[in-house]
Amino acid sequence: MSLDQLIEKCKKNDTKAQGELYKLFSSKLFSICLKYSRNTVEAEDNLQDAFVTIFKKISQYKNKGAFEGWIKRITINTALVRYRSKGVFNIVNENEIEDQAVEIEDEDISIDYLLHIIQELPDRYRLVFNLYVLDGYSHKEIANLLHITTGTSKSNLSRARHILKHKIETHQAKLSSQSL
């Protein structure tokens, strides 16, 4: 069955088709959820909410543009709704930190570890970092999505990078001391 047929069946609330669609995309969308959430449990919650939204709104999908892009946006948005109001206070964020090149040695760092430190970031830093670095949103778009200013978005990103860099370096130092 082609994806289009599957979508059509999902529009008619066909449970079997919904299951197929879930099988097809759940892993991809779950990776997004993991990156945008604080932990696996919350990521699963987000995935659940995202799929429920997808199935409810699938009739609104007019076959314009990639379906995958559409469901990814829904998934990201689900996470944004969950986290954008929480967490980081606005007081600190207006001072833009000078965005110097944050370089790091590319040694064997596991995906799990990277994911872990992303999840550990404060909510807003995590969202901004994900949106900007991993999903290619501009600061302007991020500002709109998170109801913040572009300055805040830039500053959040910069802080996120520094936190991540620091963590990776500590991690690397630990690893090398262990291997010595």
Partner 1 sequence: MSDKKHIDRLFQEKLKDFEARPGDSVWENITTELEFNKKQNKVVPLWLKITGIAASLLLLFSLGNKIFNLSEPIIEDNVVNTLPDTESIDNENATVKNSIELDTNESENIANEETSTKRPLELNRKLNLTTLGKPDNNVTISKTSNSIDNTTLKMASKVLKETFAKQEETIAQTDLNTDFVINNLVKTKVSNESNDDSIIRELSPQNTSEGRVITDNDSKEISNSKTLVTDNEVEEKLSLTNVLAATNEDESIKNEKDKIDRWSVSPNIAPVYYNTLGKGSHIDEQFVNSTKTGEYNTSYGINIAYAINEKLSVRSGVHNVNLSYDTNNVILFEDLSNNSFTNLLRNTNHLKNITLSDNTQNIAALNGSDLIVQESMGLFPNENAAISQRIGYYEIPVELQYGIVNKDFGVNLIGGFSTFLLNNNEVFSEFQERRNYIGKANNINNISFSANFGVGLDYKFSDNFKFNFEPTFKYQINAFNETSGNFKPYIIGVYTGFSFKF
Residues forming the site for partner 1 (CB under 8 A)? 13, 15, 18-19, 22, 26-28, 30-31, 33-35, 43-44, 47-48, 51-52, 55-56, 101-107, 109, 111, 114-115, 118, 133-134, 161, 164-165, 168
> What phi, psi does 163 have (nearest 5°)?
-60, -45
What is the chain's length? 180
CB of 98 to partner 1, least distance (A): 16
Q: Read off the tokens for 61.
A: 């999908």
Cβ count near 120 (within 10 Å): 14
Cβ count near 49 (within 10 Å): 17
Contact 118, 130 (CB under 8 A): yes
CB of 76 to partner 1, least distance (A): 14
Q: Which is nearer to partner 1, 124 or 161 (CB)?
A: 161
Q: Which is nearer to partner 1, 52 or 147 (CB)?
A: 52
CB of 89 to partner 1, least distance (A): 25
DSSP 98: P
Q: Read off the tokens for 142.
A: 């991020």
Containing 120, the helix (H) or strand (E) segment is: helix 111-120
CB of 128 to partner 1, least distance (A): 12
Q: Which is nearer to partner 1, 50 or 146 (CB)?
A: 50
**Residue 11 CB contacts under 8 Å (≥ 6 apart), including other chains:** 58, 59
Cβ count near 98 (within 10 Å): 5
CB of 143 to partner 1, least distance (A): 19
Q: Which is nearer to partner 1, 66 or 134 (CB)?
A: 134
Q: Which is nearer to partner 1, 31 or 149 (CB)?
A: 31
